[in-house]
């Protein structure tokens, strides 16, 4: 009986070969990136990339054979296909860099964050509660509250430390602050909670909204960054694993949109409701 070999489709073979051309060495990427600036010579490419003349010549020859590079005399430039391939590979490379930068933390990202392009996390700060300073994530948020002009929080719970700090900062320097929070959490605060009068003061300024149905993450939006809490469920408890701090405009825009969605769907907290506890 004849055996059947399950070979990869020809178009997949071709695509993998194209990826391998870029992935074969950093020199290939550097040469193509240099060419995105416009027409140039082999000599200039050698100086710009630091690769040897023979390496640059080999990359240019292979690029021409694929139709990604065209030449006239001593000048080389990318074709339209070459420009697209370079841009797409750059995005792919940055995505891999972002995933590698996150490392184990990718398992701790709140579900909504996975809708973002991972390449935006290449330069993110991962602040974890490790010894000798397990309070580092909490300290970072506290310091941002002290130094920022505006803080907007979308959270499942409130921490007494931040509620008190925000209250003090609002009174001392008129910090602009808003809070969108899970309605169930407000309901669980005991009558003797020290947070209640401070939250009531904020509710009187129409700056707290409550959401029915839960909040999917805990994050704080500052003037120039967003801080997202990382965690995992263990033994029916939520364990804080750290803080992801991002300053990339695309992530800030996403965070602002998510915050506004929940604020618009929420209801302003009635100060009388808090006072009745």
Q: What percentage of residues in the chain have a pLDDT greater than 90? A: 81
Which residues, including other chains, have CB under 8 Å from residue 180's CB and lie 6 or more apart?
152, 153, 154, 155, 208, 209, 210, 211, 215, 259, 262, 263, 266
Q: How confident is the model at residue 5 (pLDDT cuts 50, 70, 90)?
A: low
Query: CATH number, domain at 265?
Result: 3.30.870.10
Note whether residue 262 is domain-resident. Answer: yes
Do 120 and 256 lie in a common domain?
A: yes
Note whether residue 100 is domain-resident. Answer: no
Query: CATH number, domain at 55?
Result: 1.10.10.10
Note whether residue 214 is domain-resident. Answer: yes
Distance CA 61, CA 53 (A): 12
Residue 7 has a pLDDT of 53
- Nearest Cα neighbor of 141 from 241, 245, 240 is 245
Do 180 and 76 lie in a common domain?
A: no
Do 80 and 29 lie in a common domain?
A: yes
Note whether residue 3 is domain-resident. Answer: no
Average pLDDT, the chain: 93
Residue 69 has a pLDDT of 97
Domain range for 36? 10-94
Residue 231 has a pLDDT of 94
Distance CA 76, CA 46 (A): 13
Do 163 and 233 lie in a common domain?
A: yes
**Mean pLDDT to the nearest integer, 227-248:** 91
Number of domains in the chain: 2
- State pLDDT tens for residues 32-62: 999 999 999 999 999 999 999 999 999 999 9
Do 49 and 176 lie in a common domain?
A: no
Q: How confident is the model at residue 3 (pLDDT cuts 50, 70, 90)?
A: very low
Indicate whether 258 pLDDT > 70: yes
Between 155 and 13, where is the model more confident? Answer: 155
**Mean pLDDT to the nearest integer, 133-162:** 96
Do 142 and 255 lie in a common domain?
A: yes
Are 222 and 161 a contacting pair, CB within 8 Å?
no
Pairing mode, strands 75-78 and 219-221: unpaired
Do 76 and 125 lie in a common domain?
A: no
Note whether residue 126 is domain-resident. Answer: yes
Indicate whether 262 pLDDT > 50: yes
- State pLDDT tens for residues 68-125: 999 999 999 999 999 999 999 999 999 999 999 999 999 999 999 999 999 999 999 9
**Mean pLDDT to the nearest integer, 228-247:** 91
Phi-psi region of 217 (alpha: psi -120 to 50; beta: other; left: phi over 0): beta
Are 226 and 252 a contacting pair, CB within 8 Å?
yes
Residue 216 has a pLDDT of 95
Domain boundary among 35, 65, 94: 94
Q: Structure pTM?
A: 0.86
The alpha carbon dihedral of 122, 125, 127, 133 has a sign of positive
- Nearest Cα neighbor of 41 from 53, 29, 26 is 53
Residue 276 has a pLDDT of 59
Cβ atoms < 10 Å from Cβ of 3: 4
Cβ atoms < 10 Å from Cβ of 175: 18
Q: Give me 207's structure tokens.
A: 């700056």
Note whether residue 99 is domain-resident. Answer: no
Indicate whether 9 pLDDT > 70: no
* DSSP code per residue over 137-184: HHHHHHHHHHH-SEEEEEESS--HHHHHHHHHHHHHH--EEEEEEEHH
Domain boundary among 30, 61, 94: 94
Note whether residue 208 is domain-resident. Answer: yes
Do 18 and 130 lie in a common domain?
A: no
Residue 234 has a pLDDT of 82
Domain boundary among 94, 125, 154: 94
Do 43 and 118 lie in a common domain?
A: no
Cα 174 versus chain centre, distance: 29
Are 29 and 22 a contacting pair, CB within 8 Å?
yes
Indicate whether 2 pLDDT > 50: no
Do 234 and 125 lie in a common domain?
A: yes
Do 88 and 123 lie in a common domain?
A: no
Do 47 and 89 lie in a common domain?
A: yes
Residue 64 has a pLDDT of 96
């Amino acid at each position: 009986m004849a055996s059947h070999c399950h070979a990869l489709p020809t178009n997949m073979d071709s695509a993998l070969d194209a990826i391998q051309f870029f992935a074969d060495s950093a020199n290939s990427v550097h040469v193509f990136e240099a060419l995105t600036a416009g027409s140039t010579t082999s000599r200039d490419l050698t100086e710009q990339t630091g690769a040897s003349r023979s390496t640059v010549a080999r990359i240019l020859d292979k690029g021409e054979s694929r139709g990604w590079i065209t030449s006239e005399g001593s000048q080389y430039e990318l074709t339209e296909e070459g420009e697209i391939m370079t841009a797409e590979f750059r995005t792919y490379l940055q995505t891999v860099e972002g995933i590698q930068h996150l490392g184990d933390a990718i398992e701790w990202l709140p579900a909504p964050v996975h809708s973002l392009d991972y390449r935006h996390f290449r330069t993110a700060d991962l602040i974890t509660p490790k010894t000798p300073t397990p309070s580092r994530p909490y300290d970072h948020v506290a310091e941002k509250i002290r130094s920022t002009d505006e803080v907007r929080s979308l959270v499942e719970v409130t921490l007494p430390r931040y509620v008190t700090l925000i209250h003090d900062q609002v009174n001392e320097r008129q910090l602009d602050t808003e809070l969108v929070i899970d309605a169930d959490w407000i309901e669980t605060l005991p009558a003797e909670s020290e947070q209640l009068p401070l939250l009531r003061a904020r509710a009187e300024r129409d700056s707290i909204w409550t959401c029915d149905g839960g909040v999917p993450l805990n994050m704080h939006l500052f003037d120039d960054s967003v801080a997202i809490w990382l965690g995992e469920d263990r033994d029916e408890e939520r364990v804080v694993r750290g803080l992801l701090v991002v300053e990339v405009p695309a992530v800030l825009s996403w965070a602002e949109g998510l915050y506004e969605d929940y604020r618009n769907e929420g209801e302003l907290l009635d100060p009388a409701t808090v006072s009745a506890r």
